Structure 1
Amino acid sequence: MKSPGMIKEIFILRSIGCLSIVLLHSIHIALTTVPIREMGELAAIFFDSIQMILYYGTPMFIFISEFLISYSYRNREIPGHFLKKRVRFILVPYFVMAIFYSLPFLTNGLEAWSIKLAINILIGDYHGYFILIIFQFYLFHYFFHRYLKNLKPILVLSAALVINASYLMIFNFTPPPETIPFSTYIWERFYWVPLFGWIFYFALGYYSGLYYEAFIRSLVKFRYLIIIGPLLTSILLLYLYHSGLVSVHSSKRTDILLHTTMFSLFLFYVTSKIKTPPKVLVFISQYSFGIYLLHYFYIFLADYVFRLYPIDIGVTYILLLFTFSIFSSIITIFFMNKWKYGYLIIGKVGAPYVTPDK
């Protein structure tokens, strides 16, 4: 069996997912900062569409995370330090970043900052909410993997798809009820956090890792559908969005379920044909967790400076935000990890890829 950390496809999927998230956030901020007259209306529509397509990034990380855990422990017991290790390396940086991203609210007074800090930590009211989702699935896997292992994959996947799609449809297609306290906030943001909105990606990752060899054979068997799949789901996604049938602008759209699945399978199939993953993608993969935590800070920093000293650069601003946030995050992660406890702040640098024959 391959070492779980050395599955080359995962290095590539993780790096592409990371870059996709940074790019879609760069596009989002650029579209809110640069006037359409400077960017051009067609260019704005184009990049808005690209942003929609890139929403596969966040849910794909759930597939990747569960795939690795399922593959790693499919023939052995989960160790006692399973949760402790993940609290140390993942949850602690989440808490630190929750504090960090709450600091700007100090300008609104101590009470406003305290509220923001509390909701950042407890319900993920910043882009780190994804870590709360991942941790729910760590717990779910830890307590229920023995039961899932004995069930038929098709039954679990079908049930997970129905639950996931039904849950998202409630928030995509119904207005917040006035009788529920904080319903607007729940409908606009909090519904992102419970695992029901992501459980299909977990199930797909679980059984793909558990039955890895059969999973690879299925990718080859259905390769033509998998190759054309992302194109078809992108067309469907953009049609539903631009027609106004599904106006939600996030990775929590119902149609993103199919879109992310096809992109994940496509990337897995294509990268399985590559003998060795590109070094640049391995490098990005190693720094992906820290980039995820830090990139928004550097995007906001660059955008703040740009608003103070605006220049007409149009769509080039997207590239500026993207490159600045990536390189700045990597530099910060590199030097922070030189400190003994730096990983507690922004996560540790991942292990490098080593070819199986070495």
Structure 2
Amino acid sequence: MSKQRILSIEYIRGLSMLGVIGIHTGAYSLANPDVNVHLFALLEICTRFSVPIFFFVSAFGLFLHHNLEAPFNYFNFMKRRCRTVLIPYIVWSLLYMIHYTWVSGDISPWFPGILVKYLLFGLASYQLYFLVILLWFYSFMPLWRMIVKGIAKAPGFYLTVLLLLQIAVNYYSSYILEANFANRYINMAIQYRLSYWVIHYIFIFLLGAICALHYQQFIHKLRKYRIAITCFFGVTLLGMTGYYYHLLFTKHYSPEEAVNTVHQLSPIGVLYTLATTLFLLVLFESYRLNPVIKATLTQLGERSYAVYLVHPFVMYYLIGFINSKNIIMSVPVVLAFYVFTAAISLAISWLIHFSSRSRPSIGLLLTGSAAKK
């Protein structure tokens, strides 16, 4: 696997991290009753590929050098994943809960029943659910190995079938399924399904696996059809934004209601995620990037894990400062909020990285790895 191909995945990871910060910035922009709906669309609609594409990147990393025919040691595999994901997940969950109790005085999250629920569903902070789903994906690795073996025999056909099934399942989960069963535990499991149901992201995960196993052939196909892929991306982006504006101006939805309808699990959202994934691969594999953009995406890609984990802390104190000064979340303020969040989070991620050189336990606890001296 060439360095350039690996860098392409790194660029996607970095761009997706910017998208995640955009989504969370959009939520804070709603503090302004007269929110700019066009900026909100940029932050909340155009970035909706960000979380699903992380599962593509995760599967790509898992299967990049994975031999499906070699014996698979499940214990060693899970041991490594627990170190890189489970330990940081628990540590950051506890940090966010300690912080919440410190600023609010509320100790209820520490009650045993509530604590278990928080850790099971990633409720300590709004971004941590991703790690819960990722751990579930890891736990089913033997199943993914078998499925990928089958898909590899006719990837075009099987991936198309999976895509259609994914759209149907996500539609049912998003717009039909309700937690109204007699058993409260079943209701809880359904209520928090977005926090741990891997079924919502199986297609994009398996696409990442197939892409990693047959990368050269995959990229060759993408380059061959790059015009069609670019058009596909444009059509799905237009579909996402067009549906959003339709809900706003025709159905008279609020911006928050609209984005809760036009999300990554909606039918157009699934297609948009696929189109963006293919488009970014074509873009990064076929064209030479500006050195500044290349360096920025590389840094964000390398530090994306720590940035993802820490940025809600940064946002909390930035919004606290803005509120203390009675500053309205106007367009310039929202953009500044976004830039400062990304910059400060990146700086903290570097601090964690360099600190782990002298104290490896810092890196192991916070990011699952320690920097080499």
| 1:30 pairs with 2:29 | yes
The residue aligned with 2:165 is: 163
Instruction: Please give the TM-score of this superposition, normalised by the length of structure 1.
Output: 0.85
- For the residues of structure 2 that align with 1:275 and 1:72, how far apart are their CA atoms? 26
Q: CA deviation at 1:224?
A: 0.9
The code of the aligned residue for 2:93 comes to: A
Q: Is the 8 A contact 2:23 2:47 kept in 1?
A: yes
2:245 to 242, 245, 249: 242
The residue aligned with 2:62 is: 69
- For the residues of structure 1 that align with 2:273 and 2:284, how far apart are their CA atoms? 16
1:122 to 116, 120, 123: 120
Instruction: Please give the TM-score of this superposition, normalised by the length of structure 2.
Output: 0.82
Q: Is the 8 A contact 1:102 1:116 kept in 2?
A: no
User: Residue deviations 1:10-67, cap 9 Å, x none?
Assistant: 1111110111111221122122x2341xx5xxxx110221111101000011111112
Residues paired across the two proteins, number: 344
The residue aligned with 1:290 is: 306
Q: Taking structure 1 as reference, are residues 18 and 349 closer, same or farther at Cα in structure 2, changes over 3 Å only?
A: farther
Q: Is the 8 A contact 2:179 2:191 kept in 1?
A: no
Q: Taking structure 1 as reference, are residues 57 and 227 closer, same or farther at Cα in structure 2, changes over 3 Å only?
A: same
Q: CA deviation at 1:146?
A: 4.1
| 1:49 pairs with 2:64 | no
- For the residues of structure 2 that align with 1:79 and 1:24, how far apart are their CA atoms? 38
The residue aligned with 1:174 is: 176
User: Residue deviations 1:120-162, cap 9 Å, x none?
Assistant: 3111223111112222222333444145214432343234323
The code of the aligned residue for 1:341 comes to: S
Q: Is the 8 A contact 2:363 2:371 kept in 1?
A: no
The code of the aligned residue for 2:79 comes to: K
The residue aligned with 2:222 is: 219
Q: Taking structure 1 as reference, are residues 177 and 24 closer, same or farther at Cα in structure 2, changes over 3 Å only?
A: closer
Q: Taking structure 1 as reference, are residues 350 and 292 closer, same or farther at Cα in structure 2, changes over 3 Å only?
A: farther
Q: Taking structure 1 as reference, are residues 157 and 27 closer, same or farther at Cα in structure 2, changes over 3 Å only?
A: same
Give structure 1 stretches of 5+ with no counterpart.
353-358
What does 1:267-306 correspond to in 2, within 5 Å? 267-275=280-288, 278-306=294-322
Q: CA deviation at 1:313?
A: 6.0
Deviation larger for 318-327 or 50-59: 318-327
Q: CA deviation at 1:236?
A: 1.0
Q: CA deviation at 1:168?
A: 1.4
The residue aligned with 2:254 is: none
Q: Is the 8 A contact 2:17 2:308 kept in 1?
A: yes
Q: Taking structure 1 as reference, are residues 241 and 171 closer, same or farther at Cα in structure 2, changes over 3 Å only?
A: farther
Q: Taking structure 1 as reference, are residues 118 and 321 closer, same or farther at Cα in structure 2, changes over 3 Å only?
A: farther
User: Residue deviations 1:102-123, cap 9 Å, x none?
Assistant: 2354335433443553323111
1:308 to 324, 327, 335: 324
Q: Is the 8 A contact 1:62 1:205 kept in 2?
A: yes
The code of the aligned residue for 1:65 comes to: S
Q: Taking structure 1 as reference, are residues 179 and 265 closer, same or farther at Cα in structure 2, changes over 3 Å only?
A: same
Give structure 2 stretches of 5+ with no counterpart.
252-257
The residue aligned with 2:255 is: none
- For the residues of structure 1 that align with 2:213 and 2:11, how far apart are their CA atoms? 20
CA RMSD, Structure 1 to Structure 2 (Å): 2.9
2:366 to 315, 332, 346: 346
Q: Taking structure 1 as reference, are residues 308 and 203 closer, same or farther at Cα in structure 2, changes over 3 Å only?
A: same
Q: Taking structure 1 as reference, are residues 181 and 191 closer, same or farther at Cα in structure 2, changes over 3 Å only?
A: farther
The residue aligned with 1:82 is: 77
User: Residue deviations 1:217-256, cap 9 Å, x none?
Assistant: 1101211111122221111112333334875254332321
- For the residues of structure 1 that align with 2:263 and 2:27, how far apart are their CA atoms? 11
User: Residue deviations 1:67-119, cap 9 Å, x none?
Assistant: 22222214774774332222112221111111122235433543344355332
Give the match's secondary structure for 1:34: coil
Q: CA deviation at 1:304?
A: 1.7
